[in-house]
Structure 1
């Protein structure tokens, strides 16, 4: 799941350690159009984080 796909209020979690990230502000179309978004998976413990 990359940053450009995340919506406000969604929570990513790490299945290994339980760490969680909540989206409090979407990156929006403007920053993604200029390639400033992350372009790969959000990682923790060497694995992609998943939506909770």
Structure 2
């Protein structure tokens, strides 16, 4: 997942260590259209973080 795909209130979790990130504000179209956004997967422990179910 990269930040342009995340929606407010979603939670990313690291399957390796259990670290969690909660989306407080969405990235928005302006940020992502200017290439200032993250463009790769958000990682922790060397692996992409997943959406918490």
- Say yes or no: TM over 0.5: yes
Runs of 4 or more consecutive aligned structure 1 residues displaced over 2 Å after TM superposition: none
Q: TM-score, normalised by structure 2?
A: 0.96
How many residues were matched structurally?
A: 52
Can you give the 5+ residue segments of structure 2 that lack an aligned partner in the other structure? none
SS at match of 1:7: coil
The match for 2:49 is 49
What is the TM-score of this pair, normalised by structure 1? 0.98
Q: CA deviation at 1:41?
A: 0.2
